[in-house]
Amino acid sequence: MKDKHRLKHLRKMTEGDLPTIMQGELASYPHPWTQKNFEDCLQNINYSCWVFEKSEQFAGHLVLSTSVGEAHILNLCIYPKEQGKGWGRKLLAEAEQIAKKHQAETCFLEVRPSNIAGIQLYQTAGYNEIGLRKNYYPAIKGREDAVVMAKTLF
């Protein structure tokens, strides 16, 4: 991957990062992950958890799982004040590079149908819709489906 597309300030997430991660998560989503979700991911050897820092400030985070030739992006988040600047695309590219280092051939993710910007990002990055998970996400009124997307990495 060319250097201009690499995030220079991506590092492994630690448990000490969780209070700041939770601030970003709460600011970014109407139905955020809990701190326990992140704690569990940090304890699982098949999960890879990362923090994106910009000017010594947290700007986003990434959680993905890898197993048996597959990767699954579980949480890719750019915090509100950094959105719309291309950081999501760069963080997605980093997720794919991490997946490749774990010998993943395919990368999967779920996205809310209401997340138009997310769907456009994933489509322009080469992801294709492969299915729908009914009532997957909590929503203000009931549940929202998830669009399942995948990309072949090799």
Q: Which residues are catalytic?
A: 110, 122
What Cα–Cα distance (Å) separates residue 126 from each residue in 35, 46, 92, 136, 152?
31, 24, 11, 23, 8
Longest dimension (CA), the chain: 43
**Which region holds residue 68: left if phi is over 0, alpha if psi is between -120 and 50, else beta?**
left
Cβ atoms of 107 and 73 within 8 Å: the answer is yes
